[in-house]
Amino acid sequence: MRITLKVWRQSGPAKAGTLVEYAADNVSADMSFLEMLDLVNEGLIARGEDPIAFDSDCREGICGACGFLIDGLPHGPVRGSTVCQLHMRSFSDGDTLVLEPWRAKAFPLVKDLVVDRSAFDRIIQAGGYTSINVGGARDANSILIGKDTVEQAMDSAACIACGACVAACKNASAALFTAAKITHLSLLPQGQVERYTRVVRMVDRHDDEGFGSCSNEGECEAVCPKEIPITNIARMNREYLKATLMRGR
Amino acid sequence: MSSFRRVFTSSVGTKLLIGLTGLALFAYLILHLAGNLLIFFGQETFNEYSHKLISNPLVVPVEIGLLLIFLLHVYKAIINWMGNQAARPVRYEKTEWAGHKSRKSVSSVTMIWTGLMTLLFVVVHLKQFRFGAWYEIGSPPIRDLYRTETELFTAPAWVAVYVLCVILVGFHLRHGISSAFQSIGADHPVYTKRLVVWGTAFAILIGGGFAIIPIWVYLTR
């Protein structure tokens, strides 16, 4: 396959960026999208040019490190997948693809397709934890939790914090990420102690980072590699309402 | 813990207020439409209804409350929109709608514009009806709102303006109704999906219901 890439190249946060065209030749349909980029980068390095910077780690779709827009869609056109688990067979020979980094005030650009997502870490630090004294490992079933609750909490916990929700949202809102973390912990008994302080602190931190608000369109849900539904956001709103009305602040 | 004021300025709190005020305005629109449809029962019925309404001592306090709800909705929505614009200072070169389960629609991306058009329309509409031409009929005399309305809608330009504006209101409701429920935290495995369908149905009923009136008046006068 031969693919033409138009990649956002920007050497640093304060530098000007632009789309630069590259030809990817001899692309196998079985390559992952990132392997295809590795191939392009090998060519660039051989020519003495600066390789395209992009994030990746596990390349198994579970770590959340990778991600950029392919033709205007975070993680590309395949549902429920990260770019590392997207394969070139999803494209056709001769395709031209535009690659851009996540765009958000809260995700400052580092280089090319790499953005700084530490805003997510700070949202977690604000309340995405449970204060439990850790000792020896406890028996896994010492706290009984209903099957449905476990499944629901796990569906939310599946969030890998890749940032695709922010990238897809017209308001660059991290509502889905924040809501998934709040939902996960508010459903489980271990999360009850900090349940109401958590939601307020995490939402406040979310806003302080410069993310927008939720317009309830659900673009985030549609691009989420873990297909986390926006019903999580409704739960976050409900938890927030309870936290502010019933407990004061 | 942050201050109490932050409850209403946070992203979630702002949307809660927009949702609650929006639902109140939606409820009002249903009552307004129900009242307006009485015009199909003729001049006498319509005027009697309008007289009962405006002679009620509670009408002014309710109007003031409604105005405050409306202004709060507009104010928070504009502030919210500006904040959201600032959240993505650098635009994408290429964007696509995600499709699939997304509810993004022409209606959802134009909320601020259909909203601002509605604001303009409400000002004109209040001037033409609430504070419009005052005719009296019968003894004891009561306001002949029927005449005010039928006179206005003899002009095809006003018929067109009203029809267009209420269709825009319909578009606003198409996304607004289900979105408001989501904003105030309503989610249910079954009813949430139905909410989007019912929201669309109500948007068509309200937009269409209001649009029929000026057309009907124009055609029958």
Is the pLDDT reported for residue A128 higher than 60?
A: yes
The rounded distance, in Å, linking the Cα atoms of B124 and B118 is 10
End-to-end CA distance of chain B: 63
What does B105-169 look like in DSSP terms, one character per residue? Answer: -HHHHTHHHHHHHHHHHHHHHHHHTTTS---EETTTTEE-HHHHHHHHTTSHHHHHHHHHHHHHH
The rounded distance, in Å, linking the Cα atoms of A170 and B138 is 57
Question: What percent of chain A is predicted at pLDDT more than 90?
Answer: 92
Give SS3 for B176: helix
Give SS3 for B16: helix
Q: Cβ contact (<8 Å) for A221 and B87?
A: no
Predicted local confidence at residue B4, as pLDDT: 61
Predicted local confidence at residue A136, as pLDDT: 82
Residue B50 sits at the chain A interface (C-beta within 8 Å) = no
In a shared domain, residues A232 and A161: yes
The domain limits of chain B are 8-85+104-220
Predicted local confidence at residue B3, as pLDDT: 54
Question: Helices B191-220 and B156-183 meet at what angle, rounded to 10?
Answer: 170
In a shared domain, residues A30 and A73: yes
Candidates A73, A207, A218; nearest CB to B10? A207
Token look-up 């599946």 returns A158
A219 contacts on B by Cβ (under 8 Å): 97-98, 102, 104
Predicted local confidence at residue A249, as pLDDT: 46
What residue in A sits closest to B96 (Cα-Cα)? Answer: A72
Give SS3 for B174: helix
Token look-up 């939720």 returns A214
In a shared domain, residues A151 and A78: no
Could you tell me if residue A221 is inside a domain? yes
With a threshold of 0.95, tell me whether the complex ipTM lies above it.
no
Question: What percent of chain B is predicted at pLDDT more than 90?
Answer: 90
Is the pLDDT reported for residue A139 higher than 90?
A: no
Angle B14-B206-B29 from CA coordinates, rounded to 5°: 55
CATH number for position A80: 3.10.20.30
What residue in B sits closest to A7 (Cα-Cα)? Answer: B93
Q: Look up the domain containing A60 and give its range.
A: 3-100
Predicted local confidence at residue B72, as pLDDT: 98
Could you tell me if residue A62 is inside a domain? yes
What residue in B sits closest to A71 (Cα-Cα)? Answer: B94
In a shared domain, residues A230 and A128: yes
Q: Looking at this protein, which amino acid is placed at residue A227?
A: E
Whether A185 contacts A205, CB under 8 Å: no
- Tens digit of pLDDT for each residue in B115-162? 999 999 999 999 999 999 999 999 899 999 999 999 999 999 999 999
Specify the number of domains making up chain A.
Answer: 2
Give SS3 for A218: coil
Class of domain B8-85+104-220: mainly alpha
Could you tell me if residue A112 is inside a domain? no
Residue B5 sits at the chain A interface (C-beta within 8 Å) = no
In a shared domain, residues A168 and A69: no
Predicted local confidence at residue A157, as pLDDT: 97
Preferred mutation among A19, A151, A206, A216 to probe B, highest tally of B CBs within 10 A: A216
A246 contacts on B by Cβ (under 8 Å): none
A249 contacts on B by Cβ (under 8 Å): 1-4, 6-7
What residue in B sits closest to A152 (Cα-Cα)? Answer: B189
In a shared domain, residues A71 and A189: no
Average pLDDT of chain A, as a whole number = 95
Total number of residues shown for chain A:
249
Task: Choose among A156, A172, A35, A41: nearest CA to A102.
Answer: A172
Whether A102 contacts B87, CB under 8 Å: no
In a shared domain, residues A94 and A152: no
Question: What percent of chain B is predicted at pLDDT more than 70?
Answer: 98
Find the helix or strand (DSSP H, E) in which A8 lies.
strand A3-9
Which tokens is A221 given? 């849900």
Count of beta carbons in the 10 Å neighbourhood of residue B23:
18
Predicted local confidence at residue B5, as pLDDT: 64
In a shared domain, residues A124 and A46: no
Residue B102 sits at the chain A interface (C-beta within 8 Å) = yes
Q: Looking at this protein, which amino acid is placed at residue A127?
A: G
In a shared domain, residues A50 and A94: yes
In a shared domain, residues A168 and A238: yes
- Beta strand segments in A42-152, E: 69-70, 73-74, 96-100, 109-111, 114-115
A210 contacts on B by Cβ (under 8 Å): 86-87
Question: How many contiguous H segments (helices) and E segments (strands) does chain B have?
Answer: 9, 2
